[in-house]
Each structure stands twice: as C-alpha cells, then as structure tokens.
Structure 1
Amino acid sequence: MTVNAEKTVDHRRLGRALDLFDTDPLIGAGLPYWLPDGAVVRHALEEYVREAERRAGYRHVYSPVLGKRELYEISGHWSHYAEDMFPPMEVGGEQFVMRPSLCPHHAVIFRSRPHSYRELPLRMAELGGMYRSELSGVLGGLTRVRAIQLNDAHIFCTLDQVADEAAAALGLIREAHAAMGVRPVRHRLSLPGPGGKYVAAPEKWERSIALLREVLDASGLDYEEAEGEAAFYGPKIDVQVADPAGRESTLSTVQIDFHQPERFDLRYTGADGARHRPVMIHRSVVGSVERAVAHLVEHHAGAFPAWLAPLQLAVLPVSGDQCGAAAELAGRAAAHGLRAEVLAPDHGSLGARIRASRLVPYQAVVGAEEAADGRVSVRLRDGRRLGPLPAAELVDRVARAVAAHTTELWD
C-alpha cells in the first residue's frame, strides 16, 4: 500500500491513491465501487458493528431494497420525501420504488408476527442498502452518494423503556467511535423548523423532544439545539464529526418515532391482555458505511487502527534466503486471522519496502540471524522498534491488539 509523498487529507484523492475505491462514468456519479483494500476496510467495520450489536441484544434481519409505492405512502416518505427518491418503476401494473430508508421494511417485519410485552424491547438491526436521488452537484467521493449501505437498527419498546434504550444506543455509539479513533465535535438535538415538510402531530413532537432532552441531560453530554434538522417524522440526536477543513457532517443518530408505529398500526399485547402501541427508536452506530470510511480516511490520513487496516502485518525478508521463514511467519499470522503479506526483495531494497509499507501497523523484518532462531525484528507504524521477538509472540500480540479493537498498537 503506497501513497504519494505529498500528504493530503481529502478522502477523494487519498482513497484513490490508497486503492480503496474509485468511480467510473459508465457506472454513474455518486455510485463508487470498492477496490479490494477498500472492501477489507468496509468488511472489518461492518463485522465490528454486527458483533457489537449482537452483544447488545440486537437481532439481525435482511429486507429487500425495493418496495411498493404504497409502502412509502403509508410510512409518509412519499408525501414528505419523494423529491429525494428515485422515480417508481412499473412492473406488472404495480409501482415499485428503490427504498430511501430501511424503517418501513422493519415496521412491516415487526407487524408480521404477534408480540408480547415480554419480548420488548425488540432490537432489530440490518446493514442494508438504500438509495437517494441526489443531485449531481452535491455528490462527492464517499460522503454524498446515491447508493448507501446503512448501519441501521430499530428498537420497538414501551414508552417506559424509551429513555434507557436511547441512552444505551448512545453508549454503543461512544464505544464504536473509541474503537475507530473518532472524536465527535458536538452532539446536536435536531428539531423541526419553519417551512419544512414535517408530520403534523404537535403532541408527538413535544413528547419525542422531551424524551431526547431527558436522555441527553442524563448522559452528561453537552449539546446544541438546531431547528430545521429533524427527520420528517421526529426529532433526533445527531453525533457530528468534522473533516480537516472543519466541515461538519452527521455520523451517528438516535431518533424517537411515534409516527410510523401509528401509520403501520403496530401493536403488542401488554400485561393487561390489551393491545398497545410500541414506540420506535431509530439508531445508527456508524451511519452509512461510505461516510464512515470517508471520515476514517481523512481522520487517520490512511493510517487506520490495526483492526481496520487493509494490511496489518508486512513481513520483510532482508534477502531471498529468508523468504521461506518470512512466508512461514505470514502463514502463521493468517492462521490467527490477521491480514499479512510478504514483501520480498524483488519489491525493492529493504529501505524502499519499509517506506512503501509505512501505513501498515506492524512490520516484521527477517534477517539471517532472525531466520536462524525463529525471531523477527519488529517496527511499529509510530516509529517504535521492538525485538527481536519470537515470531509466535509477535503474532499473538498483534492478534490480541486486533481482536481488542483498540487504537493502541502495542500493549
């Protein structure tokens, strides 16, 4: 993995220089494709989120990226959001739409089975595709795209459970940001504003806003209120990050929704045997995968935390005589789930290979002495030099650091 000596923190240039993603006019604007190294970063991020959600009690589902127009008429997207949706497709006399959001599908999934109060809170998660008909003038790299892979989840709960569930979602967001090495610049309570297309339900808006204020106040987080930034169906907590130029964007969100449970007539059976309406909490830990990776590229300037790095361990034999020992080390690392590669002497001098792999978290140099006694000299990306260490110890230490999802290279 190499990059030009001239440093840049624009993910559009750096991401291409690092062979993470690219675009092509034949595919279209706002529709980037992922190259192998970028796919590794994306996969690692997705797997982290899935496992974090699983541990937090979420159940994962898959739902189609298409839906009948009627689905979005019921949800309110058609009347409040149609200008940002792709036009309907006629199929067999029916109109189908590329979904702009996953929440209507999850509401239908909840509705498809009877539920008891004993099942609540029911936490439903999906890493799924959605599509926005963005104007070409606002598209850019991975931050504003037309095909979005969203880390989305919806929690169906009782009113008494809302505050605890929203607070737990904020906690999950904080954990993920720490693992990613991301520091939010502020938390925003996004409220409706004048002139916007919002659901006309003043009592529901007041109740939702009060609940989110309660959650933010209890969390001890400083936050600002911003009119005109709410979703059309309810207020939200937006976790804001900034790029190197200071431009803000929303990475993670928590929203409270009384609207769609009513529109889809969602019900559960309470302890009294009667039918009750659940509250729907929308939350996204890392937001869209595209925007998250764009921020990671710029924030880390390509030097990702070890668990996210496309290549985690570069093995550098000093000469051809050590290629066998280097291959054995790389194989041992791969058996421990690490992404390791031998950069052989035919890739250039040792110094050139070290410079070429400067963004790799761990470099293992194998010389004649090291090969003879099963040791390696270790270089960390931050400039520290360790060793020589037994090859098995190096692999074990690196595997532990990666599994811990930490930003620290060495414990």
Structure 2
Amino acid sequence: MNDRLPDHRRLGRELGLFDSDPLMGAGLPYWLPDGAVVRHTLEEYIREAERRAGYRHVYSPALGKRELYEISGHWDHYRDDMYPPMRLGPHESDEVVLRPSLCPHHALIYRSRSHSYRELPLRIAELGGMYRAELSGVLGGLTRVRAIQLNDAHIFCTLEQAVEEARDALELIARAYADLGIEAVRHRLSLPGEGGKYVADPELWQRATALLKQVLAEAGVEYEEAAGEAAFYGPKIDVQIADPAGRESTLSTVQIDFHQPARFDLHYIGADGARHRPVMVHRSIIGSVERAVAHLLEAHSGALPAWLAPVQLVVLPVAEEQRERAADVLREARELGLRAELAGPAEGTLGARIRAARLVPYQAVIGDREAGAGLAAVRLRDGRRPGALPVPELLSRMAARVAARGTVLWD
C-alpha cells in the first residue's frame, strides 16, 4: 500500500467507517455507525433516483434452491464462484444455495403474475445481498468481498423497447456519477472470449451484441471491445473506474439478456392476444455498495460530498461561555435534517478541533461576538471562509446545498 495515495482501507479506519474481525471472517466487513450513515445515504439516493425513473422496488431472499440456479445457468457456468449447497436437515431432499446473483429471483417475481404488453416496460429494482465464494488471496478492503450489497435492477420489456431502456440506464448512471463526483475512465463492451464458460447460442450473442452497439451509438459513448469479459449468458456494457494508482475495475453495468427469459419461460400477452417472450435488461447504477464506497473514499481522499458525509456540520464554541448557544445551533441544524455534532473546548484548543474536523464539509465557529449577535463564523472544508452569517441563513444555505446533492459546497 502506497501511503502517498488515498487508500480506502486506511481512510475507513481513520474515519471510523468500517472494519473487519477474524471471527466474522475474511471478506466480511462490518459497518460502524458513521459508515452505516454513508451506506444508508447512498442507498436512499439510489432508491430515490430509481423511483423517479419508474422503477418498483422489491425484496427477495438471499437463499434459493439449487434447482433455481440450475435453470438460470449459474450452476453450470458459475459454480466455482458459488458457496456449496446446504441441506437443511438429514431428512430434507432440497438443497439451498446462497445466491450469487439477483436476476433469477427477479425472473421468478416477474413470472409470478401474468403481464400484458401495456404493462411493459416493467422495471424491478432491489438493493439486495448476494454472496461470492472469493478466494482469500483476492480479497481486499471493500473492493473485493464475499458478502455484497448489490444495487441491481431488471427491466422486462419488448424487443422494440430494449435499446431505449438500456440507453436510459446509461443516462441514469451518468447522472449518478455527476452527483457522486465519480469519473468514468472508459466504457467497455464486454464480449465472450476463448475457453470461457459461456452459453452456447451464437444467435443470442449476435443479437444482444448488435443491440448494445446500437445503445452505445445512440448514446454517443465511445467504447472499447474486450473479449473474455462478458457475463456467461450475454455481452454487457461495463463502466470502468480507476483507483488513485490507476488500477481499473467495473462499477456499473448494462446488459441485454435473451437467455434467462427463455430459461424461465417468461412471457407477456401482446396486442394480438398471443404469448410473446420479453427481453430482460440488467442494469446497475453503482454496482456493489461496498465497491462504490471504497471508490468514493479514494476519489475524494475521504472528503465525501457534503450530502454523503457522515457528519455535515461541526459546531465549535470558542469557550465554555458559548456552549449553550452552540447547543441551540446544533439543535436547529438537526431539525433541518443536517447531520451535525458539537465539539466543545473540553476536546482541545479551537485550532486542534478545527484540524480534527478537517474532513467535515462545514464548520460553524461561535465566539463571544457571534453568540451575542446570533451569528456563526463559517469555515468550509476547502479552506474558504465566507464570514459570519446569521444562523438561520447559514443553516438554510447548508441544508439547500445538501438537498441539491452534487459536489458544490457553497454558492
């Protein structure tokens, strides 16, 4: 680990966001209170973005019968990355598996009701847990874990709707990256390679690849083709990011899938009254929550965007005489929904407290003059000092910037 480069593992420890314990096991990190705030805020942002885009949210179990993954093809093509089946008792015949993917569950949810063409596209989203039997040698912090909280969604649509839905998913990803301060280094069209465990259906691959190329062309996105990076059931668009050392990884994906709708015998009733096969568009805005948080910590060197920061405002009374006024400001800030804390003189000199809160987006310093005039002296994380402002104006401006999301601290 290069100490000169931001590393999410070090930042996670310093900021008290997450940790691990040998008794829980490698690749199974837990979230501390401030880390849980970051995770919850990120998840709620994604859910809200999906709701605005017409997605309906579901919950599905983290376990499934082995037969489910035999039907989906995961058992044949992905078995080495799955946890072994569990038999629930000596007299039970069924075996269950920790799911390696959410798409088979969503296919069953779709199949549980009949659907008309008028309902399509039907967009189903879930922030759900999945599990990969990663080898210990490849595990690292939050970037490679065994228990994954995945931002996943599946759009069931007609063939004519598939390109537009996939293109809209790319736009949703781009908007999220702008709000989060994430930069994509390139887009990749991931295709099958020699010797891989892929579904043997050349026509399927040709149709899906042609549609994804159309998506990229209509979106005006430059891309590179990469053999050997496809999912086992079809090609995909990968949105690539890079850590401070330049190492690339995939954060977001968009896929057009003909395989699983056929495997699960999915259908809808068309305008002609006949049964038709839907297309399944897979898409993930931020991929796994774990990898997204790791990248955000490194991309921002721990100084997360104000709306995502675990503590957004620290109130700093200069002396004990201003503590009561500072407590009032703290209460007003929290009533506006800001995540605020008070750091009083007992915690050190004013300079030491300011340095300790260097990654907090906003600092409100209250001395004798400010307390008497209903003001607070504002200090921003980036070093700017907008000056002393009336407390209601100060808090409303902070709350407005947080509500607007994005990466701008002050305007």
Q: Scaled by the length of structure 1, what TM-score is found? A: 0.98
By how many angstroms is 1:93 displaced? Answer: 2.2
Aligned residue pairs: how many?
A: 406
Q: Which residue identity is paired with 1:66?
A: L
Note if 1:62 corresponds to 2:59: yes
1:272-287 equivalent positions in 2, closer than 5 A: 272-287=272-287
> Residues 150-198 of structure 1, C-alpha deviation per residue, up to 9 Å, x if partnerless?
0000000000001100010000000100011000100000000110000
Query: Which residue of 23, 28, 31 maps to 1:31?
Result: 28
The 10-residue stretch of structure 1 (349-358 or 387-396) with the greater mean CA deviation from structure 2: 387-396
Alpha-carbon distance in 1 for matches of 2:150, 2:393:
38
SS in 2 for 1:316: strand
Q: Which residue identity is paired with 1:263?
A: R
Residue equivalent to 1:360: 360
1:10-49 equivalent positions in 2, closer than 5 A: 10-49=7-46
By how many angstroms is 1:82 displaced? Answer: 0.5
Q: Which residue identity is paired with 1:240?
A: Q
Q: Which structure 2 residue ranges, 5 or more long, are not aligned?
A: none
Q: Which residue identity is paired with 1:138?
A: V
Alpha-carbon distance in 1 for matches of 2:210, 2:13:
44
Alpha-carbon distance in 1 for matches of 2:234, 2:306:
38
SS in 1 for 2:314: strand
Q: Which residue identity is paired with 2:305?
A: P
Residue equivalent to 2:385: 385
Alpha-carbon distance in 2 for matches of 1:334, 1:8:
34
Q: Is the 8 A contact 2:66 2:85 kept in 1?
A: yes
Q: Is the 8 A contact 2:5 2:245 kept in 1?
A: no
By how many angstroms is 1:241 displaced? Answer: 0.3
Q: Is the 8 A contact 2:375 2:389 kept in 1?
A: yes
SS in 2 for 1:193: coil
By how many angstroms is 1:249 displaced? Answer: 0.3
Aligned-CA RMSD value = 0.8
Q: Which structure 1 residue ranges, 5 or more long, are not aligned?
A: 1-5
Q: Is the 8 A contact 1:205 1:234 kept in 2?
A: yes
Alpha-carbon distance in 2 for matches of 1:155, 1:336:
37
Residue equivalent to 2:314: 314
Residue equivalent to 1:332: 332
By how many angstroms is 1:7 displaced? Answer: 5.7
Q: Is the 8 A contact 2:315 2:363 kept in 1?
A: yes
Query: Which residue of 77, 81, 86 maps to 2:83?
Result: 86
SS in 1 for 2:386: strand
By how many angstroms is 1:336 displaced? Answer: 1.1
> Residues 24-65 of structure 1, C-alpha deviation per residue, up to 9 Å, x if partnerless?
100000000111111111111000000000000000000000
By how many angstroms is 1:8 displaced? Answer: 4.4
Identity %: 73
Q: Runs of 4+ in structure 1 displaced over 2 angstroms?
A: none
Alpha-carbon distance in 2 for matches of 1:60, 1:147:
21
Alpha-carbon distance in 2 for matches of 1:387, 1:10:
34
Q: Which residue identity is paired with 1:76?
A: G
Alpha-carbon distance in 1 for matches of 2:270, 2:204:
21
Q: Scaled by the length of structure 2, what TM-score is found? A: 0.98
Q: Is the 8 A contact 1:8 1:14 kept in 2?
A: no
Alpha-carbon distance in 2 for matches of 1:330, 1:394:
12
Q: Which residue identity is paired with 1:163?
A: V
The 10-residue stretch of structure 1 (31-40 or 10-19) with the greater mean CA deviation from structure 2: 10-19
By how many angstroms is 1:394 displaced? Answer: 1.0
SS in 2 for 1:232: coil
By how many angstroms is 1:387 displaced? Answer: 2.3
Alpha-carbon distance in 1 for matches of 2:28, 2:134:
11
Alpha-carbon distance in 2 for matches of 1:235, 1:51:
28
